[in-house]
Amino acid sequence: MDELICFTTGNPYDLVARALDILRTMGFSLLSLSVEGEDCETYRVNIHFRPAGPLSSDTLRLRMARIDGLELLPSTAWQNRTLPERTARLCNTN
């Protein structure tokens, strides 16, 4: 299933590259990328991707959330899961 992750940043040149590198190292397919200026200091980044292999899109979100200067925008599916559901999905190796 194709997924979308969105974030805002004031430093798109560095942080988009870091986000794409995480996507690449996880083996996910990049389907599209857009960067839009919201104002003179903030940019919205949308990454449309397809997960592959044993890692989940939840893992991608957790890894990207650790990047300083990158603010993930809420994902309805992610927000609607309870913490045990998120943890179970991340820890499930089947």
Question: Tens of pLDDT along 39-94?
Answer: 889 999 999 999 988 889 999 999 999 999 999 998 654 444 444 454 444 444 44
Please report, for the chain, the start and end positions of each structural domain, with discontinuous segments joined by +.
3-91
Give the predicted TM-score (pTM) of the model: 0.76
Fold for 3-91, please state it.
Answer: Alpha-Beta Plaits (3.30.70)
Closest CA to 5 of 50, 43, 42: 50
DSSP characters over 8-60? EES-HHHHHHHHHHHHHHTTPEEEEEEEEESSSS-EEEEEEEE--TT--HHHH
